[in-house]
Structure 1
Amino acid sequence: MEQILELFLKNGLRPLSMLPDMAGLERVVNRSEIAVLLMLHFRGKMTMTALASELGAPLSTMTSLAQRLVRKGLIERRQSGTDQRIILVQLTDEGLQLVLQVKATIEKVFIRVQAALSADELNQFLALAVKIGKAVQERETGGTEAQTSKVRNIPIED
């Protein structure tokens, strides 16, 4: 379940908006903030740069989101113990409680999906969801072979 949810988060897909139980939680935090909280739950402490990269958002956007979450008491920002220039963000206890509510809501939906599908259908669904998520994550290659950046030598005349 976490693998599928993480693929959705990284690709900007918003499966949470389809869940009726999420309406109450979205009064406290919006979907982008939920994505940040879930990613911090999955990864633990992260730098702002790593968090922005994982969620595919610009650093400036992630900084604004983090500031809102700090004001709401859901995450905290701290300097790294090894390098004072590095700021790490992590969930607070209140943030963890909210993430656990979100995960419980999602798990209820997956239980309903499991009940509706046979074991074979469920395995096919999960395999296809992961395959689709990976395909969406890959950059366009323009063909069957992956493009690689080529180093070009430029002659310099004296």
Structure 2
Amino acid sequence: MDQLIELLFKQGLRPLSVFPDASALEEQLSSTDLGALMVLQFHGEMTMSDFAGELGAPLSTATSIAKRLQKKDWIARNPSDIDQRSILISLTAEGKRLADKGKATLTTMFERVQEALTPEEIAQFVQLMIKVGKALQQQPSGKPAGSAQKPRSIQIED
């Protein structure tokens, strides 16, 4: 079950947003915040650019999320020892506790799914979830969602 949860988050899906059982947890924090904490739980310490990539968001949005989570003492933001220009983020003890609650909620939900399906159906379910996740991450043009667009030129008059 842990592999399925990790797989969902590595594919960029935020499954808690579709399960009603998660509402109690989301009363404590937003689904965006919980998703960000769970991304950090699965990936460990990350650079801001990697974090933005995992969230499928621009760096400015990921930075705003990280600053908000830092103010709540759910993540720590520190300069990299290797490159002082890079910021590394990681979970604090409280952030880990909340991410663990999110993971436990998902585990409970997937255990219910597992009880309802045969092993063959579970294998199909996982394959279909990956396929759907990839499809949802694609823009109609076939580019990954959140992929950078070509910068446009702006004419400045003298």
Is the TM value for this pair above 0.5? yes
> How far is the alpha carbon of 1:6 from its aligned partner?
3.0
Give the aligned CA root-mean-square deviation in angstroms.
1.9
Aligned length: 138
1: CA distance between counterparts of 2:142 and 2:102?
A: 36
> How far is the alpha carbon of 1:141 from its aligned partner?
4.5
Paired residue type of 2:132:
I
> How far is the alpha carbon of 1:59 from its aligned partner?
1.4
8 Å contact from structure 2 (residues 79, 87) kept in 1? yes
Deviations for 1:70-105, whole angstroms, at most 9, x for unmatched residues? 111100000111121111000011111111110000
8 Å contact from structure 2 (residues 14, 35) kept in 1? no
Q: TM-score, normalised by structure 1?
A: 0.79
Structure 1 residue 66 corresponds to structure 2 residue 80: no
Structure 1 residue 51 corresponds to structure 2 residue 55: no
Q: State the secondary structure of the residue aligned to 2:20.
A: coil
Give unpaired runs (5+ residues) of structure 1. Answer: 143-158
Q: TM-score, normalised by structure 2?
A: 0.79
Match of 1:149 in 2: none
Paired residue type of 1:38:
M
CA separation of 1:41/1:55 partners in 2, compared to 1, >3 Å: closer, same or farther?
same
Q: State the secondary structure of the residue aligned to 1:77.
A: strand
Q: Percent identity?
A: 46
CA separation of 1:101/1:141 partners in 2, compared to 1, >3 Å: closer, same or farther?
closer
Match of 1:153 in 2: none
